[in-house]
Each structure stands twice: as C-alpha cells, then as structure tokens.
Chain A
Amino acid sequence: MADATHFEGAHGPKPRRTFSRRNIFLYGTLIMVALYYLLPLYVMLMTSLKGMPEIRVGNIFAPPVEITFEPWVKAWAEACTGLNCDGLSRGFWNSVRITVPSVIVSIAIASVNGYALANWRFKGADVFFTILIFGAFIPYQVMLYPIVILLREMGLYGTLWGLVLVHSVFGMPILTLLFRNYFTSLPEELFKAARVDGAGFWGIYFRIMLPMSLPIFVVAMILQVTGIWNDFLFGVVYTKPEYYPMTVQLNNIVNSVQGVKEYNVNMAATILTGLVPLTIYFVSGRLFVRGIAAGAVKG
C-alpha cells in the first residue's frame, strides 16, 4: 500500500488529536453540564435508599451504607395523605384514569380538526383557526373559576370526567396547530388523488392520512401524557380528595406538617411520580424527534 504511491505533503484524511484543546473544551463543558443536571436525581435516589438515622448524619452525597427499600414501599402503599393512609397508589390509579381518556379524546378530536383545517378549506376556517390559537395564550387563571361554575352546572364538578373534559379542551389549541401543520406539510396532490379516487372526508382521513402520520401522533401523545400527568392546578381545583391525581397526593405527602419529615419517603414518592413521563421519553424519544422534524421539512 505504501509503496504504490508517494505523496509529498498533506494527503489522505486530516489527522485529528483526541485531546485537542477544542475537544477538551467541548466535551468538558458537556460533561459538567450533564453532571449538574444529574446531581439532584442522584441525591434523590441515594436518599430514598437510606434509613432516617443515616440521613440525619448529613452526608447527602454519600451512597447508602445500608440499602433499604422501606421508604419506597411506604411511599407507594402506606404514606398518609389527609384521611387516607394508602400511599401514592390511589393517586397513581387516579392519574391513569384521568390521563388515558384525556389523551385519547384530545388527540382524536385535534387530529380531525387539524386535518379539516389543512385539507378541507371551509368558509371561516381562518377565523376558526385564529380563535383556536388565541385560546392557547389565555392564562389558565382567568378561566379557573368560570370553569368551576360550568362544570357544576353540567353536574361534572368534582368527578374524574369533569377533569378529563377540562384537559381535553385545554389540549385542543396546541394539538390542533401541531396536526394542522403536519397535514399541511404532506403533499397536497396526495389528497387530490384520493378525491379523484372517490374517497370522502373520513375515507381520506383513515386510509390515506392516518397511516402517514405515526410520528406526529407520537409527538402529540408525549406532549399530552407528560402535560396531563404533571398537571397539578386542574387536579387540585376540579376534583375531590378521593380523585386527586398523583401530583396532588405527592404534594400532600411532602408538605404534611405532622410528625417527622421523612426525607427518604418524600424522595421515593417524587421519583415514583416522575417515573411515567420519564419512561415515555425514554421509550419514544427517537420518534419524538423524528415527528418534530417531519413537521418542519416538506416531504
């Protein structure tokens, strides 16, 4: 190989040093920042695995001398919130019962909205869309009390379904925008071809558009699951204690003023509550990025 060609000076790939100034600076900064953001999680995890006597010693960065899962069990099944002493499990199931229908209903409606706005231009479509988008910028606090009255009149106040309704409505502006932009980015000729082929409104939606839209549905699902799961305000305002979502219960456990502060239980409860959005990110993170990018670039 070497004897075949004899080049003078630079040839072939440019040599790069692993420990160049540029690399040290770049990766050094990235590692520092990553550590900074991971530190709280580390402290939480370590604390949750310690017993109370060990925590009182004060070394919050030290790994547990004696690993115990007692705080996790207590957080899940025994911690007291108000009158109930069955831990976070009740809140977890409440949150599931709120999140699942809210996500399904809001995505189903918003995707059809977006599809109609993108492909079936009707009279007043622009006005409708503007109003919908405007809705995204009204602060929640303004609507908090009127919605209490509305739900009361509808007989839904304090029920799970009332909260599902509120979440579905509030998810509508941003989701409709998301779907409309995605459907607009699909080639218009595809829609025209389907019309010439005799497919109607629903035929085109289910047979042509839906199969092409998996990435944007994943994006919408992630946004909604994390948004609704992490919601605290609506949960505490529109439901009764027996239907409190996990976030509200977590607050009640952590902020309870009676007895000793059980830091390990609090930490375990917090991690448990954050586990669902975290899992969603890890499982569908790649699809999420692809969906966001797909909306931006014309196919």
Chain B
Amino acid sequence: MTDATQHSVEIKNLDLSFGAVQVLKNLELNIHEGEFLVLLGSSGCGKSTLLNCIAGLLDVTGGQIWIKGKNVTWAEPSDRGIGMVFQSYALYPQMTVEGNMSFGLKNAKIPKDEIRQRVDRAAEVLQIEPLLKRKPSALSGGQRQRVAIGRALVRDVDVFLFDEPLSNLDAKLRADLRVELKQLHHRLENTMIYVTHDQVEAMTLADRIAIMKDGLIQQLAAPDEIYSRPANLYVADFIGSPSMNLIKGQVADGRFTTDGLSVPLGGYEFSREAKGEAWFGIRPEHIVLGDAAASADTSLTITAEVVDPLGSDTLVLTTLAGTRFWIRLDGQTKIKAGDSLTIGINAADASLFDTGDEERL
C-alpha cells in the first residue's frame, strides 16, 4: 500500500457501470495532500460521475476509494470528510443563508456555539456576512455560489469537491470567482477536486489536470506539461483555443515530410522510436515570424485567408498541406486577408503522434 500520509484521496481500480454501459473503467488516481486537481473533459466523459463516486452519491461497481488513509468505499457521503459545491448551487430555498450553512452542522449534532463560530468564520472568509439573514432567492448568482462554498467550508473537511461551480455564472463573475477560489485554496491548503469542461479554469487553477475521455484518464500532469507535451492526440486537440494544428505526414531520416512542408526533427525530443506515418502538431502561438522565422528549423510563405482580430491577438487562418492551419499573431500586427506571410516552425515546439494508437512519439 502507498503511504497514506502523502495521498489525500486514492482511487483504486474504480469501475462504475449503469446497466450495460461502463462509465468508469478501472480508474486509478492518487491525489496529493493539499493538491488542486482538475478533472477536465467534454460532457459525457465521466468526470462528474467520478466526482459523485468520490462523494459517495453513487455506489461503485468495483474498486476502492480511500480518503485520508481511510477506506470510504461504503461510507455515507457525510462520513467521508468531504464538502461539495454544485453547479446549480443547490441551496435550500426555504432556509436563510445562515440556515443553509449550518444545516450540515446541525445534522452532525455540533453544539450551537460552535456552529455560530464556524458560520461566522466562513462568512468572513467569503465576505458574505451581510447576507446571513437573507433567503437564497434574494441573492445574485455570484453570492449564491459563495454561500454554497461557505456551506462546504463550515464542515471543516479534508477534501473539497467542486462540480462545475462556475458554469452558471456570467463571464466576468466567473473570472472573479476563479481568482477567489485560487486564493481560497492558497489560504486553506485543503485538497480540492474540481470538475470542469472549461480549459481556462483548468489551466489557471490546477496543480495537476486529469484529462478524461470515455471514462479513462488520458493524461494526468501539471498544466504546462499538458500544454507543451500532450500525451496523445486527444489531449493535444482538446487543450488550446484555437487548438493545435495537426498535419498528417511521414517521419523518415530525422525529417517530417508532407506536401509543401518538411521539418528537420533534430530539435524534437522523441519519447519513443518513430517511423512511417505520423501526425505533426504545432500550436498556433508557437509559429514564429520575421527574423525568428528565418532562423527556424523550417520556414515557408503562406497566404492569409481569414484574419480574426481579437484585440490582444490576431488569428490568421491559412491552408497548409491540405488542412486548416491557424497562426496566432500579436494584436498589433497589421495584416489583412490575402496578404502573404513568412512563418517559421521549430521542431522543439512541436508534438508528434502515432497515427495508429495516437500516442505521443
């Protein structure tokens, strides 16, 4: 067995099926003490299901769940030492904010004085003291989610579970609350497991990201690792907006070649031996221009077909080797559709994937 003091949550061989549909398949996941882990994936990948299993809201079909060195596979949600925040806030509409926050503590038969103290402390941390006597219906979306976080906070738990907590908020509020969540994590140093489909949330909040697809974890790594060294084609395509440019071609004699593109792979760090057909991936923001293009591993001239000025950046769409190819330029660049542009590609920034099993080369 692994050292229980190091891992806050351990998931061993977890299986979950609804009838004939297998949602989670033999899933292994160890989460460190105080870690902020983000479960990221498109809808239907099993990320929320996994969170519900950890919370004890779904009975698992096979495997074990350990929290703080205790086997909680059969334990009630309230006995697992977890607090949970839901996407729809799930505040009890007939209770005041104070009632919402103290409901769990009353169920746990905690003395009144202590309930008071804990609610006041959580309210102070989240700056919701003036709202304590209000009903949820009299709160804005952001305030409601704060109360929902407060309800998890007062329980003094080891692990916080967040199920897409910011998805119902508008863009500005989402960004604000995201920063607050990060600060909260720094202050509390609890383990947090956070489910989202928003890659910006994942990249900014996470210590480590677990990218899930079809009930399997595709890659579990720090955000920069996931971004710069995606483990497979799915991860490469999922992270980044616009996503990585992927071109099919041949790897031979240390070069990647396809129609109109030939890149020497001297600067590329292979994870395994490569020969024959492969995907060549390069992020739009890793394409260099000007002097850098001249000294790049390979340089070529393209014609801008579509130009999307976003203010901070300008996106240029072109066609390369028969596929759509995005280039991200500085927002100050003056360019319009039809202009030619010399670009450079460095093999060190690229990712290569096998066309068969789609794993990183």
- Cross-interface CB contact of A189 among B76, B78, B83, B90, cutoff 8 Å: B90
Write the nearest CB–CB distance from B36 to chain A, whole angstroms: 20
Given that A187-B90, A189-B88 are contacting pairs, would A198 and B107 also be in contact in the complex, using a CB cutoff of 8 Å? Answer: yes
Given that A189-B87, A192-B57 are contacting pairs, would A197 and B93 also be in contact in the complex, using a CB cutoff of 8 Å? Answer: no
Residue-wise interface mask of B (61-98) relative to A, using a CB-CB cutoff of 8 A (1 in contact, 0 not): 00000000000000011110011101110111110000
- Cross-interface CB contact of A195 among B57, B88, B93, B94, cutoff 8 Å: B57
How long is the Cα–Cα vector from A58 to B83 in the complex, in angstroms?
Answer: 78
Say yes or no: B92 contacts A198, CB within 8 Å: no
| Nearest-neighbor residue (CB-CB) of B57 within chain A | A192
| Nearest-neighbor residue (CB-CB) of A197 within chain B | B104
User: Cβ of B316 < 8 Å from any Cβ of A?
Assistant: no
Say yes or no: B78 contacts A197, CB within 8 Å: yes
**Interface majority SS (helix, strand, loop, mixed), chain A:** helix
User: Cβ of B268 < 8 Å from any Cβ of A?
Assistant: no
By a CB distance below 8 angstroms, the chain B residues around A193 are 84, 86, 90-92, 151
Say yes or no: B78 contacts A190, CB within 8 Å: no
How long is the Cα–Cα vector from A207 to B102 in the complex, in angstroms?
Answer: 13
| Nearest-neighbor residue (CB-CB) of A195 within chain B | B77
| Nearest-neighbor residue (CB-CB) of A191 within chain B | B90
By a CB distance below 8 angstroms, the chain B residues around A189 are 86-88, 90, 163
Say yes or no: B103 contacts A196, CB within 8 Å: no
Task: List CB contacts (< 8 Å) of B91-142 with chain A.
Answer: 91-94, 103-104, 107-108
User: Cβ of B247 < 8 Å from any Cβ of A?
Assistant: no
How long is the Cα–Cα vector from A192 to B90 in the complex, in angstroms?
Answer: 8
By a CB distance below 8 angstroms, the chain A residues around B91 are 193
User: Cβ of B55 < 8 Å from any Cβ of A?
Assistant: yes
How long is the Cα–Cα vector from A18 to B79 in the complex, in angstroms?
Answer: 68
| Nearest-neighbor residue (CB-CB) of B103 within chain A | A197
Q: How many residues of B contact A (CB 8 A)?
A: 26
Say yes or no: A194 contacts B87, CB within 8 Å: no
Task: List CB contacts (< 8 Å) of A189-231 with chain B.
Answer: 189-190, 192-199, 203, 207-208, 211-212
Say yes or no: B107 contacts A197, CB within 8 Å: yes
Say yes or no: B93 contacts A212, CB within 8 Å: yes
How long is the Cα–Cα vector from A282 to B78 in the complex, in angstroms?
Answer: 45
Task: List CB contacts (< 8 Å) of B138-157 with chain A.
Answer: 151, 155
Say yes or no: B107 contacts A203, CB within 8 Å: yes
By a CB distance below 8 angstroms, the chain A residues around B57 are 192, 195-196
Say yes or no: A211 contacts B103, CB within 8 Å: no
Given that A189-B86, A189-B87, A203-B107 are contacting pairs, would A196 and B92 also be in contact in the complex, using a CB cutoff of 8 Å? Answer: no
| Nearest-neighbor residue (CB-CB) of B86 within chain A | A189
Residue-wise interface mask of A (237-268) relative to B, using a CB-CB cutoff of 8 A (1 in contact, 0 not): 00000000000000000000000000000000
Task: Give the interface centre of A198, A208, A212 by most chain B CB atoms within 10 Å.
Answer: A198
By a CB distance below 8 angstroms, the chain B residues around A207 are 92, 103
Residue-wise interface mask of B (35-47) relative to A, using a CB-CB cutoff of 8 A (1 in contact, 0 not): 0000000000000
Say yes or no: A196 contacts B107, CB within 8 Å: no
Write the nearest CB–CB distance from A177 to chain B, whole angstroms: 24
List residues of B whose CB falls within 8 A of some A CB: 52, 55-57, 76-79, 82-84, 86-88, 90-94, 103-104, 107-108, 151, 155, 163
29 A-B interface contacts by CB (under 8 A): A189-B86, A189-B88, A189-B90, A189-B163, A190-B90, A192-B57, A192-B77, A192-B86, A193-B86, A193-B90, A193-B151, A194-B92, A194-B103, A195-B78, A196-B55, A196-B57, A196-B83, A196-B104, A197-B78, A197-B107, A198-B77, A198-B79, A198-B104, A199-B103, A199-B107, A208-B92, A211-B94, A212-B93, A212-B94
